[in-house]
Amino acid sequence: MTIAGKLGLILGLAFLGNLLLSAALAANLKNSDCSYTAIYLLFLLAWNFFLLKYLWKLLHNEFFLPLKRLQKSLDQHDSPAAGLNPLAEKVLDKLKEAKEREQMIADHSAQVIMSLTAERKILALNPSVYKQWNYPPAGLLGKSVLRYIFQDQREQFESALIEARQLGNALVENQIISADGNLIDVCWEIEWSESSGSYFCTVENISDRKNLERARKEFVSMISHDLRSPLSSIKLAIHGLRQRLNISAQCESEEAKLLSNASRSLNHVLSLSEQILDMEKAESGALALNIEPVRLSELFCEAMELVEVLARHKNIALESRNSDCTVLADRRRIVQVLVNLLSNSLKFSAPGTLIRLYSSEAPDHVTIYLQDQGRGIPLAAQKSIFERFKQVESKDSQRGSGLGLPICKVFVEAHGSRIQLESEENKGSCFSFRLARS
């Protein structure tokens, strides 16, 4: 029974008992018979004494004793709710378990986790700081975090702290000076807690990603300077050799074939290097486009002429539905998109099939379609084929550089559009993208 139920029962019994005894006492006095008056009074006093005793016991067990236990627990710096009731103890146990689990996660996290005071001093941190930065955690407590950040990046870090305090959170990348003097690339995720007046930070080591980015930049630099220049010189040398040997384009001598093969291979390598450079420029926002009004029919014709020999060799028909409309585009790069799409379709289409290049017009844009009757692209691979160096697994030897479709995506997106794909295995594929009308 609840406390309220017990109190209600006591008060009800007190009222009923006092009512009956008082009525009996009044009747006895009315009849002028005082022989039982003392007995009634004695019963009345005993009844009320019994009820008061029971009420005191109830209050003592339900109120005073828990308060005494609470005071004792406070004096012993123990849990303030200990002994109140089993439910409170159960809740406190769960909270304690959650706190211990949270602490365990923080202690075993690969990331450095720390809290900072408003004055940028390190308030607390997990053991990962020793694995990541080679500093013992105890040696960093109370010290300014700025002393461990590379000097040229401290102002940027200060700005991030201000942003976190204003907006609630912030991200910033910089370099930490490790105990052995090396620079470690890190990314800070900073949150400001208004209630505690401190910053909560998780610091991720991004050295591998930064090293990869630096290697990629060095690779691009090598292509643009160390590789392209010699290749261009070789191309000029081949052209000069053809002239010196008086070899025309129609010549079928052994020397002419060797020079033609060398020139064709050289042009392929130069084209690949050009595509890699264009993708890097697009990712860094440095890709410059020469947007001008261009007749769509001219783009179609130029692209189909460049793949016509390959189509005849594979016995695949090319069909183009010319349009008289004019679009706004970078002529060279849209032709490259069409050539890459056509080459991809030719590579994976069987002899005797058809590849169609056509368009549909709207008031403000034109949608260009390229449809083939090839083997199609599996649904699982359709999202990844526009990533560089990604290719659909095939049983035959039809492999390419893995750059054709990614460069299409880069050039189309540079025009403010998006390349789309609809494909079904063994039923062909259809690529499409939009260009603004002039």
Q: What is the pLDDT of residue 397?
A: 47
CA proximity to 198, closest of 106, 129, 144, 119: 119
Going by pLDDT thresholds of 50, 70 and 90, the confidence category of residue 234 is confident
Higher pLDDT, 360 or 227: 360
Higher pLDDT, 227 or 80: 227
CA–CA distance, 180 with 311 (Å, rounded to integer): 62
Mean pLDDT within 397-424: 82
CA–CA distance, 335 with 341 (Å, rounded to integer): 10
| Low-confidence winner among 77-91, 172-186, 360-374, 395-409 (lowest mean pLDDT) | 77-91
Q: Which of 84-93, 94-103, 310-319 has the highest mean pLDDT?
A: 310-319
> Above 60 in pLDDT, residue 271?
yes
Decide if 223 contacts 215 (C-beta within 8 A): no
Q: Which amino acid is at 110?
A: A
Write the CB contacts of 32 (distance below 8 Å, at least 6 apart in sequence).
none
Q: Let me know the angle formed at the C-alpha of 218 by 213 and 219, rounded to the nearest 5 degrees.
A: 95
Q: What is the pLDDT of residue 38?
A: 63
Going by pLDDT thresholds of 50, 70 and 90, the confidence category of residue 74 is low
CA proximity to 316, closest of 281, 342, 288, 339: 342
> Above 90 in pLDDT, residue 418?
yes
Structure tokens at 220: 């691009």
Decide if 65 contacts 84 (C-beta within 8 A): no
Structure tokens at 430: 């259809």
> Above 80 in pLDDT, residue 350?
yes
CA–CA distance, 347 with 288 (Å, rounded to integer): 30
> Above 60 in pLDDT, residue 317?
yes
> Above 70 in pLDDT, residue 108?
no
Higher pLDDT, 322 or 428: 428
Q: What is the pLDDT of residue 126?
A: 86
